[in-house]
Structure 1
Amino acid sequence: MHELSIIIDLVALCEKNAKEQNAKEIESLEIKIGRLSGVEPHYLESAYEFYKKGTICENAKLIIHVQNIVVQCNNCGEKNELDKNEFLCPKCGSNKLDVIDGEDMYLMRLTMK
């Protein structure tokens, strides 16, 4: 379960940012997880609930946005969002696609006080 190591790094990043901003507490962390990132949101939530105790994030809410796969077709140029791991252009049926979004995990917003 690599989600725990992700949470450990995420909490360390929060602590670093809070220190730089002279914040005493993190209120919320908002992250975006791509469907192709290899990160399972429910495991990430479980790891967060386990690890946050005794950290600056102890009372912080973890908000997760799952990013669908965004592709651009090299055949017709159409840009689409895929909600299944079916890599065919919805417009022309081509499998010549470039993935534009949905492969990464980002910390989008950090609310501190």
Structure 2
Amino acid sequence: MHELGLVSGILDVAIKTAREAGASRVVSVSLRIGDMAEVNEESMDFAWDILREDDPLTAEAEMQVEYVRPKSVCVSCGHEFTHDRFHLRCPECGSGQTVLLAGREMDIVSMEIETPDDDG
């Protein structure tokens, strides 16, 4: 279950960033994860619920995830197309020579924090 490691890394970045900003808490972390990264959604949610409680800054933080469908371009004909994890052949010309444009990303897109000034 590599999701535990992923969530641990995400929370490390969130906590470090929040501390540097003088935050009193992390409200939410928004992620963009490609389908080709093979992340299990239920495992991510489970790991988030468990690991976020390890630090008071993230104890109540929400995780928002946008899952990105794979998108490739055909080297032979230039056609761009979306697909699942297994069907990488160009639907236009049938070529197997394609380059993945999107679908492997694993990015922290944004973070919402609360500062002591926001509390009162």
Q: Give me the TM-score of the superposition, normalised by structure 2.
A: 0.86
Q: 5+ residue gaps in structure 2?
A: 115-120
Summarize the Cα distance change of 1:49–1:40 in structure 2 as closer, same or farther, 3 Å threshold.
same
Q: CA offsets, 1:71-98, max 9 Å, x none?
A: 0101110111113521111222221100
Q: Tell me which residue corresponds to 1:46.
A: 46
Cα distance in structure 2, aligned partners of 1:74 and 1:17: 40
DSSP-derived class of the 1:36 partner: helix
Q: Percent identity?
A: 22
Q: Name the residue aligned to 1:19.
A: 19
Using the TM superposition, name which of 88-97 and 28-37 deviates more: 88-97
For the residue of structure 1 that corresponds to 2:37, the secondary structure is coil
Deviation at 1:2, TM superposition (A): 1.4
| Larger Cα-atom Rg | 2
One-letter amino acid matched to 1:79: E
Q: Tell whether the 8 Å contact from 1:26 to 1:59 is kept in structure 2 after alignment.
A: yes
Pairing 1:67–2:68 present: yes
How many equivalent residue pairs? 113
**CA positional deviation for 1:35:** 1.0
In the aligned structure 1, how far is the partner of 2:94 from the partner of 2:59? 48
The residue type equivalent to 1:33 in the other structure is: I
Shift of 1:38: 2.8
Which protein is richer in helix relative to its size?
Answer: 2
State the 1:36 CA deviation. 1.1
Q: Give the conservation status (yes or no) of the 8 Å contact 2:71–2:82.
A: yes
Given that 2:36 and 2:85 are in contact with CA atoms closer than 8 Å, whether structure 1 keeps it comes out as no
Q: Judge conservation of contact 1:70–1:102 (CA < 8 Å) in 2.
A: yes
Q: Normalising to structure 1: TM-score of the pair? A: 0.91
